[in-house]
Structure 1
Amino acid sequence: MKKRYKFLLIVFLFTFEFCKHASSDASKMLTFLGNDSSPKVVSAVPSMGDKELPRTQKIAILFDKPMNINSCVQSFSISPSTQGFYDLNDYSLNFTPSTLFSYGTYTYTLTKNCESKDGLDLKDIFTASFTVGNQTTAGTFPEVQSVTVSAGSSASCNSGSPTAVNILSDSVSNACMGTPLRNKIKVYFSRAMDKSATVSAITFSPNFNATYYWDSDTELSISPDSPFAYQTRINMTVSTVAQDTQGIRMQIPIAGSFQVGTPNLVPQLTSLTLSTGTLADCLAGIGTLGDLTTTSITTACLGNPTNNPIVFNFSRPMNQVQTQSNIGFSPSFTGTFGWSSDNLTLTYTPDAKLSYGIRYTITVGQNVITSDKITVEAASTYSFVAGGSVSSSPTVQAVGVASQGCATTFPGTGNAAGGNWSLGSCYWDSTLAVLTPSSYTFRAGDTGGGATSSTVDCTDVNTDNFRLIFTNYMDLNSTVNAVRLRRLSPPSTIIQLSSWTWADCQAAFPYGCRVLDLVFAEQESSCNSTLFGNATTGGDFNLMRSDNAPAGFPYYMITVDTSAKDVNNLFFSSNFNFTMEAK
């Protein structure tokens, strides 16, 4: 055995001596003996055993001395094989994959053929293994666990306390328009997601602008820029473009929808007010506010006292221009719009008083809109009567003469049997049947003596002054002009209205009177000249007396034609005629 060891030692010494005289290339074969000047890897990323790395991971190797970088590139390999790009300098080699790493384990190696610029090989082979992704998710796919939207009553939506409902598992028909102004949608995923890819996978129909932000790696919030439109169905999809942070895409797309069925942000007219009351209260400015949305108003003030503002109160701030342009009045009247600073209250002030007895209609159109562009649910109309309801056209309620006990205020009372000029009541009222003309007699005031024989003949006598009582307060001028008196029995005469007086008048707007006394004269009477005027008396105020005839006394008919109207501009619907006999 000793001889064998001696032989091996001689062979070794011989080989060493031979190599010592060989070229420098041959000396490289002896690096296993150790050489402190050989280049070394100072650090590398990823290092051995790194886990849960992203798919975008880069490989970086740092050396302790300048390297022949081309030789290092040729010495670098990665398994599984992956294409990529190199970023090089004298001290480092950086590798970026041209596509994202797939899930799994990778091993990269740098052989000793990577050499320094002075020709020395890498001292040791360098290798490291790393894992992309998490082993616990191997073989599974990311999923959408739930998509929630706020739903509930208008009160809960506006108070910010609605219920979060999952549209993937529940049928949602009462989603809020906002809570209170926006209805945030929340999407919950089964694991951490790639934020950009996931957001790009989400679509809505109809589409709307929104802000997307992540509350966590698994929870996405979507906040619309404006409230949802009432009675709109929103459809949502998340496609398989969505992927987790390891690049694993969703295997199955999801779809869901919800109905915006709670009108919590639809603007409402909460009240529509104007002053109401008696004429006295309105003129004194103490009318009571009435609300047309809850009350029927038939005694609206004409002015309170000079005008009666109409006030619209809305539940939400309104767009001023569009709201004003969609409010109408019929019959139309001019006025001025004014808004409160919060755009909740609109006041319309008429330029003039309203007309007595007229029913006005107010229309709030469909395109009345809020500041954030939400229209009312439907158009609405409201109406009121100014000053008091007028139920029918005016007419004559009673007829008499001034010498009777015929009322001087509405209503007058007639006699079912008729009567003469000394009757304690009117001849007739609208509750009675009309009798023959001879049932109603009056005494003409002109006895035929003329002014020279008796001044009594030419002084007004009230036994032939006719009294008309009207159902409504009448327009004074049109009514007087509508009255006629004519003689029916021959010979015919020319009759003129000499004077008239009104009674039972209302002192407040729109004024008007209900009792009219009429004084007539005949051109053929003894006190008249051909011009219905006497130099001594200034005119006659009586009809011709004919009580000295044996029989066949003349008939006179008093007429009110359809040009007569009341203060509410309501005209007589037909002529009124009443016939009497002169005695």
Structure 2
Amino acid sequence: MKLIIYNLLILLFFSFCRPDGKNLDSLLTFVDDDGSPRIVYAFPGMGEKNLARNTSLSILFSKAMNINTCVQSFSITPNTIGFFDLSDISLKFTPSSLLSYGSYTYTITKNCESKDGIDLKDVYSANFSVGEAVIAGSNPQVSGVVVSAGSIADCNAGIATRVNVLGSDYVNVCMGSPTINEIEVVFDRPMEQSSVISAIQITPNLSANFIWSSPSSLRIVPDRPFNAGVRYSVTIAASAADSLGNRLLSPLFKSFLVGSENLVPSVSSITVANGTLADCLAGIATTSNILATSVTNGCLGNPINNPVIIDFDRAMNRSITESAVSISPTITGTFLWSIADTRLTFTPDAKFNYGTRYTVTITRNAISANEINISQNLSYSFIAGGAIGDAPVVQSIGVVSQGCSNSFPGTGSVTGGNWLLPQCFWDNSLPILGPTSYQFRAGDDGSGATSCADVNTDNFKLVFSKYMDLNTTLNAVRLRRVSPPSTIIQLSSWIWKDCQATFPFGCRVLELSFSEQEASCNGLLFGSSGDFNLMRSDNTPAGFPFYMITVDTSAKDTLGASLQSNFNFTMEAK
């Protein structure tokens, strides 16, 4: 009765615990009358096929056993390392790693004995197979070498097609999709991982992480994107073996061309401020992209300095890219990067020189944050302050009492103005208005000898575009009264400013003081006792006269170039 109850308990337990879920009734064996123990259940049973690689072996005895003798009696071929779970009536063997595909045989000899010292009734042995038997003894094959390929837009968007390069020569493989383009190697069966990794070689060499997504699929994830325009070769030596040790029948060699240069950084714009001198100084100049527009009136300062802004289409390596940027003629300054590292702003330490062409160069050393160089050296230029040809010009004109510059260049007024303007009357970026738009105050107020002292409201200032020869330029300047015309005017004094101290010397700013014979200073004694002022007419009924200042083409710069054309400028005396 006890024996029947014992076997019923065993049957109930294994009805729930059998790994393959099969009915165990047929496997149940009762204890022999002679007291010899038997194996009442074993899994896998004889001839079991297509088992999983994580299969464990389970054995149930008919009575309590000296379980250590049973462990010593257990063996499995091929030899497999594992661990045991034990009780008085059961033994479970779990391999330490996944079983390889193929056939196995396990055995328990009669040396396995019960607690009362009686040997196992019979030797037990069973054969089983893991996976399909057809795998054993055949050679593995590579069924795919997969990468991403497509247009630049698709590569950048991460929607490029995954293609198997075993089937075709792909020449539009992405550099990255969107950043890294992994290579997936697919086999027709589970492989021995270490032999596969050691058998793979990629040329040009790249460092990468190897990740097994399944026993038959290896992902090779490069540490950085592919190089654009480079053909990569994937070689898998015949030493690559499957999980049963079967090697490739022959080595595999396949290549592909990285033809979609989707990660090569590019310069999307180089912008500078440009416009009239007045707009530049007011800080309201426009900005232009010198990649697309010819800029010949770049601001000297906007209003103090004029940054050059370089925009890239992706994040860049700051220090390396900065060293790849230069401006010629050389000008020092500071670099400032945007938070995203896509915009580099260069702010010069000083204003640009008027009429100078500056060239911005970015060499191929400029590199993105993921270590990809721009495709070629780039050079783009602009002219600061307006193009100046070989011939000098009068760049601006005003009177000394105004805020007209003492150095080149001067800034004019769009609407004109009087002798109290904070800038010059005019500069060469503006049209010349009618004479009533420009008003100066003659210095001789008709009070006689007291009118001889110089007054700067009628001292004229000429700013030239180049350093001028002092003698030829001074002799080329004339002032005459054109309405009413009856007057004699002579030059009383002059001052040169904005001069260069090195060869060929010369100056760019000329201040002139004139006097008139009809002025009241010392009566009609023309120019005696230092008469420095023109005749004032704001307190007489004669009306306001107009004066024209002229600079003819006999004026030359220090290199001998004549003034581009005669310069005439008419003003009203108030």
When normalised by structure 1's length, the TM-score is 0.59
Alignment CA distance shift 1:302-1:242 (3 Å): same
Q: State how many pairs are aligned.
A: 412
Q: Could you tell me which residue of structure 1 aligns to residue 314 of structure 2?
A: 316
What is the distance in 1 between the residues matched to 2:149 and 2:56? 47
What is the distance in 2 between the residues matched to 1:318 and 1:573? 47
Which deviates more, 349-358 or 120-129?
Answer: 120-129
| Aligned-pair identity (%) | 43
Per-residue deviation at 1:261? 2.2
- 1:382 matched to 2:373? The reply is no
Q: Could you tell me which residue of structure 2 aligns to residue 208 of structure 1?
A: 206
Per-residue deviation at 1:314? 0.7
Q: Could you tell me which residue of structure 2 aligns to residue 160 of structure 1?
A: 158
Identify which of 560, 564, 568 aligns with 1:572. 560
Q: Cα deviations across residues 511-534 of structure 1 (Å, max 9, x unaligned)?
A: 957998999xxxxxxxxxxxxxx9
Alignment CA distance shift 1:68-1:348 (3 Å): closer
User: AA paired with 2:264?
Assistant: V
Q: Could you tell me which residue of structure 1 aligns to residue 344 of structure 2?
A: 346
Q: Could you tell me which residue of structure 1 aligns to residue 274 of structure 2?
A: 276
What is the distance in 2 between the residues matched to 1:310 and 1:216? 53
Q: Could you tell me which residue of structure 2 aligns to residue 420 of structure 1?
A: none
What is the distance in 1 between the residues matched to 2:96 and 2:338? 64
Q: Cα deviations across residues 265-298 of structure 1 (Å, max 9, x unaligned)?
A: 1111100011122223323333221111111211
What is the distance in 2 between the residues matched to 1:251 and 1:225? 31
What is the distance in 2 between the residues matched to 1:179 and 1:516? 71
1:417-436 aligned at under 5 Å gives the runs none
What is the distance in 1 between the residues matched to 2:162 and 2:80? 47
8 Å CA contact 2:314–2:368 kept in 1: the answer is yes
Identify which of 276, 284, 289 aligns with 2:287. 289
Structure 1: state its 5+ residue gaps.
1-32, 397-458, 460-469, 486-496, 504-510, 520-533, 542-557, 566-570, 576-583
Identify which of 363, 366, 375 aligns with 1:365. 363
1:87-98 aligned at under 5 Å gives the runs none
Per-residue deviation at 1:171? 1.6
Alignment CA distance shift 1:38-1:224 (3 Å): same
8 Å CA contact 1:168–1:255 kept in 2: the answer is no
1:46-445 aligned at under 5 Å gives the runs 46-53=44-51, 63=61, 64-67=63-66, 105-110=103-108, 112=110, 115-116=113-114, 118-195=116-193, 197-394=195-392
Per-residue deviation at 1:379? 1.5
What is the distance in 1 between the residues matched to 2:287 and 2:336? 18
What is the distance in 2 between the residues matched to 1:317 and 1:310? 18
8 Å CA contact 1:86–1:93 kept in 2: the answer is no
Alignment CA distance shift 1:330-1:518 (3 Å): farther
What is the distance in 2 between the residues matched to 1:395 and 1:312? 33
Per-residue deviation at 1:248? 3.5
Q: Could you tell me which residue of structure 2 aligns to residue 568 of structure 1?
A: none
Alignment RMSD (CA, Å): 4.7
User: AA paired with 1:224?
Assistant: P
User: AA paired with 1:166?
Assistant: N
What is the distance in 2 between the residues matched to 1:237 and 1:249? 15
What is the distance in 2 between the residues matched to 1:125 and 1:330? 94
Q: Cα deviations across residues 398-440 of structure 1 (Å, max 9, x unaligned)?
A: xxxxxxxxxxxxxxxxxxxxxxxxxxxxxxxxxxxxxxxxxxx
Q: Cα deviations across residues 488-528 of structure 1 (Å, max 9, x unaligned)?
A: xxxxxxxxx9845699xxxxxxx957998999xxxxxxxxx
Alignment CA distance shift 1:540-1:215 (3 Å): closer
Question: Residue 324 of structure 1 aligns to a residue in which SS?
Answer: helix
Structure 2: state its 5+ residue gaps.
1-30, 395-451, 453-461, 477-489, 497-506, 516-524, 533-551, 564-574
Alignment CA distance shift 1:253-1:100 (3 Å): farther
Q: Cα deviations across residues 36-84 of structure 1 (Å, max 9, x unaligned)?
A: 422223544543222235789886756544449679967x787xx7667
What is the distance in 2 between the residues matched to 1:345 and 1:332? 21
What is the distance in 1 between the residues matched to 2:64 and 2:95? 25
Which deviates more, 50-59 or 289-298?
Answer: 50-59
Per-residue deviation at 1:369? 1.6
What is the distance in 2 between the residues matched to 1:107 and 1:474? 102
Q: Could you tell me which residue of structure 1 aligns to residue 470 of structure 2?
A: 479
User: AA paired with 2:159?
Assistant: S
Per-residue deviation at 1:357? 0.7
Q: Cα deviations across residues 360-385 of structure 1 (Å, max 9, x unaligned)?
A: 11111221122222221122111111
Which deviates more, 284-293 or 84-93?
Answer: 84-93
Question: Residue 271 of structure 2 aligns to a residue in which SS?
Answer: strand
Per-residue deviation at 1:258? 1.8
Q: Could you tell me which residue of structure 2 aligns to residue 526 of structure 1?
A: none
Question: Residue 297 of structure 1 aligns to a residue in which SS?
Answer: coil
What is the distance in 2 between the residues matched to 1:339 and 1:113? 80
Question: Residue 280 of structure 2 aligns to a residue in which SS?
Answer: helix
User: AA paired with 1:182?
Assistant: I
